[in-house]
A and B are shown apart, each in its own frame.
Chain A
Amino acid sequence: MTYIINRLLSVILTLFLITLVTFAVTNILPGDVAMMIMGTQSNPEALSGLRQSLGLNDPLLVQYGHWVGGMVSGNWGNSLIFKKPILELLSQKAVASAIIVIMSMMIALALAIPLGVWAAVHRDRWQDTVSSSSALLGVSLPDFFWGIVMILVFARWLGWFPSSGFVEPSVNFWGTLQHAFLPSLALGLGLMAHLTRMTRSTMTGILSQEFIRVARAKGLAERTVVWRYALANAIGPVITIAGLQIGYLFGSIIVMESLFGYTGMGWLTYQALLNRDLPLIQDTVFVIAAVVMLTNLAVDLLYIVIDPRIRLG
């Protein structure tokens, strides 16, 4: 219990640091919100009036206070390019991206764990080489390349999946999944390599441990020994890596969503950056950072379920 409280407190501290960094960086970025709203040819007096009313002339600390206070009270400001409340925009796009992130992670794990276990069981044999080469192939080519391959093969030639676009889950959930599948597969192939290697190395270590010999000496079938006794111990480190990769995924979706015209957070970030929509950038970066952190918290808490040794500690 103390462990969970400790973790939560450190999450709050980190969230605070994230707001500081995000705020500082977006304020250093060149660009003037008032000018973005009114255009470069606008009247200087009107501009300074708008600056005043937006609070841009306030000391930075006050601006920061406004921003954080607004977020806490649910007023996240308006996007300059979409002319919509940012909170509404983000919550819509976040769902779309969550689908891709979860689906790609599930694809990656579903491929990597069996491949890694297979390699560990047949360590230093041809199966090991096949496993690590195929995992390496996944990571050595950039994921937008995989995206193009997916579009060519599954959308253009086979016609099994749509090549681009997004359908609101509330309209047609099956359609959302279909649209999300190809970008997720492309991302999953990139994620797979690390996870395969991690599964292989942890499983190799665990399979050489005494309790595995003891399990065999009890007469348990080899598949029970490998898939229950050993994998239950190997899953922790693999999930940790998967959690860390969520952060990497949020970088990747910027490219992948734009490539597939999939209008999620990644696509939104890209649009915000392209159009220097500073309030939107500020809030998006914060949300992404917060999600990455909360994912890691979730992984740590999951660890408590997986590994009884942490429960008491």
Chain B
Amino acid sequence: MKDIVSVDHLRVEFATDSGPVVGVEDVSFTIAPGETLCVVGESGSGKSVTSLSLMRLVEFGGGTITAGTLNFIRADGSTLNVAAATPEVMGQVRGNEIGMIFQEPMTALNPVFTIERQLTDGLMLHKGLDQAAATARALELLRSVRIPEPERRLKQYPHELSGGMRQRVVIAMAMACEPKLLIADEPTTALDVTIQAEILALINRLKRDTGMAVLFITHDMAVVAQMADRVVVMYRGRIVETGTVQQIFEAPREDYTKALLAAVPKLGEMKGKSAPERMRLIGDEAARAAQAAPKARKREVLLDVRNLTTRFPVKGGILRRTVAQVHAVEDVSFTLNVGETLALVGESGCGKSSCGRSILRLIEPTSGEVWIGGRDIGNLNRHHLRKARADMQMVFQDPFASLNPYRRLKDQVAEPIQNFNLASGAELEARVLQLFDRVRLPREFLNRYPHELSGGQRQRVAIARALAVNPKLIVADEAVSALDVSVQAQVLNLMMELQEDLGLSYLLISHDMAVVERVAHQVGVMYLGRIVEIGPRAAVFDNPSHPYTKSLLSAVPIADPSKRRFADDLSFKPITSPIFPLGHQPAPSVYDQIAPGHFVLRA
């Protein structure tokens, strides 16, 4: 069958003040009807530029197609070179013959127009339908993407819908005119894992039902393994390797592909192993081999959290009184040992971040006790709490936002040391140097500013800053989520190395089950503010016992094309609201111990 898309030697340049910069170069691939082609690569690889070029949307971002052809077989059978098409022709193709969905469902819909208006305007434009016919078709589309109560949704505005529903609306919009090609640019990256599973399954079903081709852009090798028929691997604006999904995953030819695949943790690969293992990095085998066998440390409790509860007021009325409460953290108890990692996992809004912050008293818990090294953190006054903070540091998710853009890196790392009067003068400088070495940042960086660094390097600075005061506990809140997979592996390995050398304890807050499986000693699964299941990592992953843990694990994409899981429509139970009226007293958390140290919340 004739390929619906054939891209030949595409080159895109971006105009900058210092002359043109090449976005992608020498990119060639084809897509057959009914096929899913995944373009995978890390940030800056040019994968989005490629997809935007096919829609000629790249021009709105300042790019220009300077060479190559982008042939697309139109609905009438004629061949259109998109690279040379007029704006009028592109207006007919966009949204009509090629549909596109984007990464951010929360911002992909116009906040001031109803869902109906946004679904129907494309239909009226391309298909010449009148308002009534377009509305009827819109309703049909909402049904096909399985949105509950589709009639009501038409009259609603985007902010009234959840993220998953919005992404379904965006998909419905892209599917409105029955395009022959659907371009999906990181469509699930911003979504929770269960919603990601639902959306991936939905795309698969729509593709099967309509026979359209899919161009799927992603950075996530696990999603590629689940979705692709064929794969294009990109790196720095060029294609590294093209092949079927089996070829790419089982017999990658190029070193870059091998390195990329190696760095991806595969859920289930830690089966039968008791201790965490460092991430695989090509060229880093020596370091991995040097990983000391886990020391038989005596298991000494560092952090003891008892019945921690945090509620946020919901204000309302004329006098801004508290009218309800968000039960963010609800009767949470656990212990974390010296030199170990406890991972708190769960989906957005489950309370895992609030829990981490309540422990450090960055937000004040409503009740409960937090003991660190035998000291009751909850009862410390301002002065003593400040002193105690030297023992407990935090690393945040966004290394762009957590560093001060106006200060040199050495000053930012030195700041906590000065705050706690731990060193000054030459001693301080020596300590900062040592910290830079420790997190393997070159010393040339000492005098640089955050914007001169990459994301991974910035996160190393954030870790150095946290280490500066010799803490015992580090709360890492999605500390590697924003990083590319190979960088993520490096940073995780650094954290594990520091743990072995310094006996650090980590409270790792993460949504990524595959990462958690690799690095955690203990795992706590959170749902609606409570820990629903907690225990040794092997116990929780090998024998998930709470229904929520089971559904969470079943939704995780596995980086192995032989283990596909999203063929049919999936529907997970939506998470209910954590907002309760004032005075609502929820029942305490009661657990059954089903194996040594493995506790499951009693329903």
Residues of A participating in the B interface, judged by any CB pair closer than 8 Å: 2, 5-6, 9, 209-211, 213-222, 229, 232-233, 306-309, 312
With contacts A213-B60, A306-B112, A308-B157 taken as known, whether A219 is within 8 angstroms of B122 at the C-beta atoms is yes
Given A2-B317, A309-B157: A233 and B122 interface contact (C-beta under 8 Å): no
Find chain B residues with CB under 8 A from A221 CB.
91
- With the chains together, A219 CA to B122 CA distance in Å? 7
- Contact of A308 with B173 in the complex, beta carbons under 8 Å: no
Structural contact, A216 and B94, CB atoms closer than 8 A: yes
Are B102 and A218 within 8 A (Cβ)?
A: no
Give the docked Cα–Cα distance between A221 and B102 (Å). 19
Asked whether B318 lies within 8 Å of A9 as measured between CB atoms, the reply is yes
Do residues B159 and A214 form an inter-chain contact, with CB atoms below 8 A? no
Assess whether A210 is in contact with B102, with CB atoms less than 8 Å apart: yes
B100 and A217 form a contact (CB under 8 A): yes
Query: Once the chains bind, are B57 and A229 in contact (CB under 8 Å)?
Result: no
**Smallest beta-carbon distance A44→chain B, Å:** 53
Which of B91, B94, B112, B157: most chain A CB closer than 10 A? Answer: B112
Are B57 and A213 in contact (CB-based, < 8 A)?
A: yes
B102 touches A214 (CB 8 A): yes
B108 on interface, CB distance cutoff 8 Å: yes
A211 touches B159 (CB 8 A): no
Residues on A with beta carbons closer than 8 Å to the beta carbon of B91:
219-221
Task: Find the A residue at minimum CB distance from B170.
Answer: A214
Residue of B with least CB distance to A217 = B100
A218 & B110 in contact (Cβ 8 Å cutoff): no
List of B residues within 8 angstroms of A216 by Cβ: 57, 60, 94
Question: Given the complex, which residues of B lie within 8 Å of A218, measured CB to CB?
Answer: 94-95, 121-122, 125, 173
| Docked complex Cα distance between A62 and B143 (Å) | 70
Give CA–CA (A222, B93) in the complex, Å: 14
Contact status B94-A219, CB under 8 Å = yes
Contact of A6 among B93, B100, B109, B318 (CB under 8 A): B318
Instruction: Write out the residue numbers on chain B whose beta carbons fall within 8 Å of the beta carbon of A5.
Output: 318
Could you list 10 further interchain pairs (A-B, Cβ under 8 angstroms) beyond the known A209-B107, A221-B91? A2-B316, A9-B318, A210-B108, A214-B170, A216-B94, A218-B121, A222-B87, A232-B110, A233-B110, A312-B160
- Could you list 6 examples of A-B contacts with CB < 8 Å? A2-B318, A6-B318, A214-B102, A216-B94, A218-B95, A308-B159
Kindly state the separation between the CA atoms of A215 and B122 in the bound complex, as whole angstroms. 9
- From B90, which residue of chain A is reached at the shortest CB distance? A219
Chain A residue nearest to B59 in the complex (CB): A216
Most buried by B among A216, A217, A221: A217
Known: A217-B55, A218-B121. A210 touches B94 (CB 8 A): no
Tell me the complex Cα distance, A233–B108, Å. Answer: 14
Instruction: Please give, as numbers and ranges, the residues of chain A lying within 8 Å of B173 by CB-CB distance.
Output: 214, 218
Bound form: Cα–Cα A225–B94 in Å = 14
Rounded to whole angstroms, the CA-CA distance of A219 and B91 in the bound complex is: 5
Q: Return chain B residues, CB-CB under 8 Å to A309.
A: 111, 157, 159
Q: Are A214 and B108 in contact (CB under 8 A)?
A: yes
Residue numbers in A under 8 Å from B174 (CB-CB) = 217
Cβ 8 A contact of B112, one of A6, A217, A307: A307
Residues of B contacting A229 with CB < 8 Å? Answer: 110, 113
In the assembled complex, the Cα of A232 lies from the Cα of B158 at a distance in Å of: 15
Q: Please pick, from B109, B113, B159, the residue contacting A232 in the complex, using a CB distance under 8 A.
A: B113
Give the nearest-CB partner of B57 in chain A: A216
Q: Which residue of A lies closest to B88 (CB)?
A: A221
Residue of B nearest to A207 (CB): B60
Report whether A210 and B107 are in contact in the complex, using a CB–CB cutoff of 8 Å: yes
Q: Give the chain A neighbours of B36 by CB distance below 8 A.
A: none
Is B94 a contact of A211 with CB atoms below 8 Å?
no
A5 to B122, CA, bound (A): 39
Contacts of B94 in A (CB 8 A): 216-219
- Distance of A218 Cα from B100 Cα, bound (Å): 8
Which residues of A are found within 8 Å of B317, using beta-carbon distances?
2
Is B112 in contact with A219, judged by CB distance below 8 angstroms?
no
B residues 110-141 near A (Cβ < 8 Å) are 110-113, 121-122, 125-126
Residues on the B chain within 8 Å of A233, using CB: 110-112
A308 and B107 CA atoms in complex are apart in Å by 15
Q: Shortest CB–CB separation between residue A108 and chain B, in angstroms?
A: 23
Chain A residues with CB under 8 Å of B366's CB are: none
Residue numbers in B under 8 Å from A215 (CB-CB): 110
Q: How far apart are B126's CB and chain A's nearest CB, in angstroms?
A: 6
Contact A214 B109 (CB under 8 A): yes
Contacts of B95 in A (CB 8 A): 217-220
Which chain B residue shows the least CB distance to A215?
A: B110
* A6, B87: Cα distance in complex, Å: 50
- Would you give the shortest CB distance from B119 to chain A, in whole angstroms? 10
Using Cβ atoms and an 8 Å threshold, which residues of chain B touch A312? 160
A233: nearest chain-B partner, CB-CB? B112
Interface centre among B108, B110, B157, by most chain A C-beta atoms within 10 angstroms, is B110
B124, chain A: closest CB distance, angstroms: 11
B96 close to chain A: CB less than 8 A: yes
Q: Does B241 touch A at the CB level, under 8 Å?
A: no
Distance to closest chain A CB from B162 (angstroms): 15
Report if A210-B104 is in contact (Cβ < 8 Å); known contacts: A232-B110, A309-B159: yes
Contacts of B55 in A (CB 8 A): 217
Could you tell me the distance between the alpha carbons of A217 and B99 in the complex, rounded to whole angstroms? 7
Assembly CA distance A213 to B186 (angstroms): 14
Asked if B28 is an interface residue, CB under 8 A from chain A, the answer is no
Let me know if A211 and B109 touch, CB within 8 A: yes
Provide the residues of chain A in CB contact with B111, threshold 8 Å: 211, 233, 307-309
Q: How near does chain A come to B52, taking the closest CB pair, in angstroms? A: 8
Within 8 A of A (CB), among B24-52: none
Which chain A residue shows the least CB distance to B92?
A219
Q: Give the residues in chain A near B160, CB-CB below 8 Å.
A: 312
B103 within 8 A of A: yes
Q: Across the interface, which residues of A come within 8 angstroms of B126, CB to CB? A: 219
Nearest CB to that of B114 among chain A residues?
A308
Q: Which residues of B contact A2 (CB under 8 A)?
A: 316-318
Q: Are B107 and A211 closer than 8 Å at their CB atoms?
A: yes
* Chain A nearest Cβ from B33, distance in angstroms: 21
* Nearest CB in chain B: distance from A199 CB, A: 16
Q: Which residues of A contact B93 (CB under 8 A)?
A: 219
- Give Cα distance in the complex from A239 to B125, angstroms: 31
Do residues B122 and A220 form an inter-chain contact, with CB atoms below 8 A? yes
- Give me the 8 closest cross-chain CB pairs, A-B, nearest first: A218-B95, A219-B95, A219-B94, A217-B100, A218-B122, A308-B157, A210-B107, A211-B110
In the complex, which residues of chain A have a beta carbon less than 8 angstroms from the beta carbon of B90? 219
Question: Bound complex: CA of A306 vs CA of B90, how far in Å?
Answer: 32
Closest residue to B98 on the A side, CB-wise?
A217
Min CB distance B202 to A, Å, is 18
| B105 CB, min distance to chain A CBs, angstroms | 9
Residue of B nearest to A311 (CB): B157
> Whole-angstrom distance between the alpha carbons of A222 and B60 in the complex?
10
Bound Cα distance from A219 to B125, whole angstroms: 8
**B528–chain A nearest beta-carbon distance, Å:** 23
CB-defined contacts of A308 to chain B, threshold 8 Å: 111-112, 157, 159
B95 to chain A, nearest CB (A): 4
CB distance from A202 to the nearest CB of B (A): 13
A307 CA / B159 CA spacing, docked (Å):
11
* Nearest CB of chain B from residue A201's CB, rounded to whole Å: 18
CB distance from A227 to the nearest CB of B (A): 13
Nearest CB on B from A216, distance (A): 6
In the complex the two chains form, what is the Cα distance from A220 to B110 in whole Å? 14
Report A239 CB to chain B, min CB distance, Å: 13
Contacts of A210 in B (CB 8 A): 102-104, 107-108
Compute how far the CA of A264 lies from the CA of B312 in the bound complex, rounded to whole angstroms: 53
| Chain B residues within 8 Å of A213, by CB | 57, 60, 102
Closest to B317 in A: A2
Task: Point out the residue from B57, B121, B125 that lies within 8 Å of A217, measured CB to CB.
Answer: B57
B100 partner residues in chain A, CB cutoff 8 A: 214, 217
Determine the residue in chain B with the shortest Cβ distance to A6.
B318
Residues of the A chain whose Cβ atoms lie less than 8 Å from the Cβ of B113 = 229, 232
Known A-B contacts A2-B317, A309-B159; the reply to A220 vs B125 at CB < 8 A is yes
